[in-house]
Chains A and B, each alone.
Chain A
């Protein structure tokens, strides 16, 4: 009986805590709002794309979002909307579709903030992975619809099943492995672009067709007129070469085999 009793007061206390946090934060957040807009822009431009401070601060904001802090959500939105929307726009090349995907990404953050585990990855990585998956799914659906319309006369149906929930892969990540990798995310946008531009042409094309054109490995092979196996090994080699070009990542264990 004593054990059961705690559930009701517990929830109440949590709500009181959330309300108090919001009451305390609202004026301060209001004050900082102006500055934050500028900050988000600066942060987007700043040479390191991310610092460990930002990571810690993001984790704090997500904890507050889990307590349903609208202000914390707004701060995080201001910080990453540009990057998230930029990725959507790059893939979908359509304003309305990109906005829809961006909106859905942030809504997922709002709904699943309490499940978010900072040890499994940082918020930016989470947001970018989600928006990438959703944009690619949207792109494939769009393409499939077009193909469907073309094939209607011949009676074929090429519409693939709906994309998988993008959060799904987050749950399978290993904490230890991630802590190791997160340390490398502090590399400038410029250097990453140079590294990609410096890949051999066939490798770069595989990466770009997969990443930004939403093609599957078979479609890439078809598009490039190469055997599927070649596409597979090029994708893998491309990742290894990028690691080589960005020495912050340290040696790749499988590099010698490649």
Chain B
């Protein structure tokens, strides 16, 4: 197995644990192998990233965040902050040094002014004064060094604060960028919403149109059904045995061209009447059929004609048609009458 093969197998996860451990040591010491590992791993990442993502259950996220929460400090970090800088400052403060040096020196001077001094005593005092001066100088030097150290600490603290501020600033930048992106997405979503609403309105008007169409079609179907029922009824009349046909002429002047044809079987109580060339009447009037025998004129069906002057109707009677000699048509007020119009029939004929 060459080294390259080994690194590839390592990236694929195909080495055994001990082989992987050995190889890691080798890679750590070879920049060539490191380069190859980086290269193979970039490819491995691509292969892994090409796996279709699957969203885990929300419960997993919940569990994770609970674990994270448990690992966070129980008290908020900000709570301890006021005490801490104060402690720091306290540490930086220095105690006043050797306050007793000054007073003892003053006392010596005072004694000197009161009387003359022997030379040895003066020399001794000078030496003490020199020693005190050196001591003061030393103290000052120590003080200066401390101040420098304090300044260094403060500088480091400042730098740390600046670094932290940098991190916060970056986080803020990222958050701001996200808010901007969010606003953009919101705009887009609103535009999409407006489009969807428009499409919805269109669909609704379309649905209304369709509902109307359906109503129209239903009406048309019931019309056709009625027409079919009528035709079936007509057929049943026409298919009776012994069917006869009576043609009644128009007798009133205005209705000369009218023709009323009656299809009936003498033994039956039902007849089919086809009307042609009768002008349609205004809505307050109606045509009415009369069944006539020697003694009486029985009121029968009322009807009106369409624009072409045509009507077809099924007429029922209480007695077989053989009992009647004539059939007439009169013009009556809308709804029909019990006794015929005194003006007389406009159409009349024998059965």
Interface residues of A (CB under 8 A from B): 1-3, 5-6, 8-10, 12-21, 23-25, 28-29, 31-32, 35-36, 38-39, 44, 49-50, 57, 60-61, 63-64, 67-70, 72-74, 77, 81-83, 85-87, 89-90, 98-99, 102-103, 106-107, 110, 121, 124-125, 128-129, 132-133, 136, 160-164, 168-169, 172-174, 177-178, 180-182, 184-185, 187, 189, 192-193, 196, 207, 210-211, 214-218, 220, 228-229, 232-233, 235-236, 239, 242-243, 246, 249, 252, 254
Of B38, B87, B174, B179, the contact of A177 (CB 8 Å cutoff): B38
Closest 10 CB pairs of A and B: A2-B149, A17-B164, A82-B53, A174-B34, A181-B42, A12-B84, A177-B38, A210-B14, A210-B12, A15-B77
Residue pair A5, B47 in contact (C-beta under 8 Å)? no
B interface residues, tally (CB under 8 Å): 89
B333 CB-CB contact with A under 8 Å: no
Residue pair B172, A24 in contact (C-beta under 8 Å)? yes
Residue pair B39, A77 in contact (C-beta under 8 Å)? no
* With A125-B45, A174-B31 as contacts: A110 and B68 at CB distance below 8 Å: yes
Residue pair A229, B81 in contact (C-beta under 8 Å)? no
CB within 8 Å of A: which of B32-73? 34-35, 37-57, 60-61, 63-65, 67-69, 71-72
Beyond the given A17-B164, A177-B37, could you list 9 further A-B residue pairs with CB under 8 A, ordered by the A residue number?
A2-B149, A73-B68, A81-B56, A81-B61, A103-B64, A110-B71, A136-B13, A160-B17, A168-B24
Kindly state the separation between the CA atoms of A64 and B173 in the bound complex, as whole angstroms: 13
B306 CB-CB contact with A under 8 Å: no
Residue pair B47, A44 in contact (C-beta under 8 Å)? no
Residue pair A216, B16 in contact (C-beta under 8 Å)? yes
Secondary structure at the B interface, as helix, strand, loop or mixed, is helix
Kindly state the separation between the CA atoms of A187 and B153 in the bound complex, as whole angstroms: 49
Give the shortest distance, in Å, between B145 (CB) and chain A (any CB).
Answer: 9
Give the shortest distance, in Å, between B174 (CB) and chain A (any CB).
Answer: 5
B317 CB-CB contact with A under 8 Å: no
* With A3-B149, A211-B13, A243-B43 as contacts: A10 and B34 at CB distance below 8 Å: no
Give the shortest distance, in Å, between A19 (CB) and chain B (any CB).
Answer: 4
B326 CB-CB contact with A under 8 Å: no
Give the shortest distance, in Å, between A164 (CB) and chain B (any CB).
Answer: 6
CB within 8 Å of A: which of B231-257? none
Give the shortest distance, in Å, between A204 (CB) and chain B (any CB).
Answer: 11
* With A5-B88, A233-B5, A239-B8 as contacts: A63 and B167 at CB distance below 8 Å: yes
Residue pair B164, A211 in contact (C-beta under 8 Å)? no
Of A77, A164, A243, the contact of B17 (CB 8 Å cutoff): A164
* With A5-B88, A5-B92, A8-B88 as contacts: A67 and B167 at CB distance below 8 Å: yes
Give the shortest distance, in Å, between B27 (CB) and chain A (any CB).
Answer: 5
Residue pair A235, B77 in contact (C-beta under 8 Å)? no
Residue of B nearest to A1 (CB): B149
* With A99-B57, A181-B41 as contacts: A9 and B24 at CB distance below 8 Å: no
| Residue numbers in A under 8 Å from B53 (CB-CB) | 44, 82-83, 85-86
Kindly state the separation between the CA atoms of A102 and B165 in the bound complex, as whole angstroms: 33
B4 CB-CB contact with A under 8 Å: yes
Residue pair B150, A2 in contact (C-beta under 8 Å)? yes
B78 CB-CB contact with A under 8 Å: yes
Residue pair A177, B77 in contact (C-beta under 8 Å)? no
Residue pair B42, A185 in contact (C-beta under 8 Å)? yes
Kindly state the separation between the CA atoms of A214 and B135 in the bound complex, as whole angstroms: 77
Of A16, A102, A177, A211, the contact of B39 (CB 8 Å cutoff): A177
Give the shortest distance, in Å, between A45 (CB) and chain B (any CB).
Answer: 9
Give the shortest distance, in Å, between B351 (CB) and chain A (any CB).
Answer: 87
CB within 8 Å of A: which of B131-178? 146, 149-150, 152-153, 156-157, 160-161, 164-165, 167-168, 170-172, 174-176, 178
Kindly state the separation between the CA atoms of A172 and B348 in the bound complex, as whole angstroms: 120
Give the shortest distance, in Å, between B229 (CB) and chain A (any CB).
Answer: 62
Residue pair A185, B46 in contact (C-beta under 8 Å)? yes
* With A24-B171, A28-B175 as contacts: A172 and B27 at CB distance below 8 Å: yes
B181 CB-CB contact with A under 8 Å: yes
Residue of B nearest to A49 (CB): B49
B21 CB-CB contact with A under 8 Å: yes
B119 CB-CB contact with A under 8 Å: no
Give the shortest distance, in Å, between B271 (CB) and chain A (any CB).
Answer: 78
Give the shortest distance, in Å, between A34 (CB) and chain B (any CB).
Answer: 8
Residue pair A77, B61 in contact (C-beta under 8 Å)? yes
* With A21-B167, A29-B175 as contacts: A86 and B146 at CB distance below 8 Å: no
B76 CB-CB contact with A under 8 Å: yes
* With A164-B17, A236-B8 as contacts: A106 and B182 at CB distance below 8 Å: no
Residue pair A16, B78 in contact (C-beta under 8 Å)? yes
Of B11, B41, B67, B171, the contact of A25 (CB 8 Å cutoff): B171
| Residue numbers in A under 8 Å from B41 (CB-CB) | 121, 125, 129, 173, 181
Give the shortest distance, in Å, between A93 (CB) and chain B (any CB).
Answer: 11
B1 CB-CB contact with A under 8 Å: yes
B9 CB-CB contact with A under 8 Å: yes
* With A85-B54, A164-B21 as contacts: A13 and B179 at CB distance below 8 Å: no
Residue of B nearest to A73 (CB): B68
* With A16-B81, A73-B68 as contacts: A32 and B175 at CB distance below 8 Å: yes
18 CB < 8 A contacts A-B:
A12-B81, A13-B157, A17-B164, A24-B168, A24-B172, A35-B185, A69-B171, A82-B54, A82-B56, A85-B56, A102-B56, A103-B67, A110-B68, A174-B38, A177-B35, A181-B39, A211-B47, A232-B2
Of B12, B14, B34, B167, the contact of A172 (CB 8 Å cutoff): B34
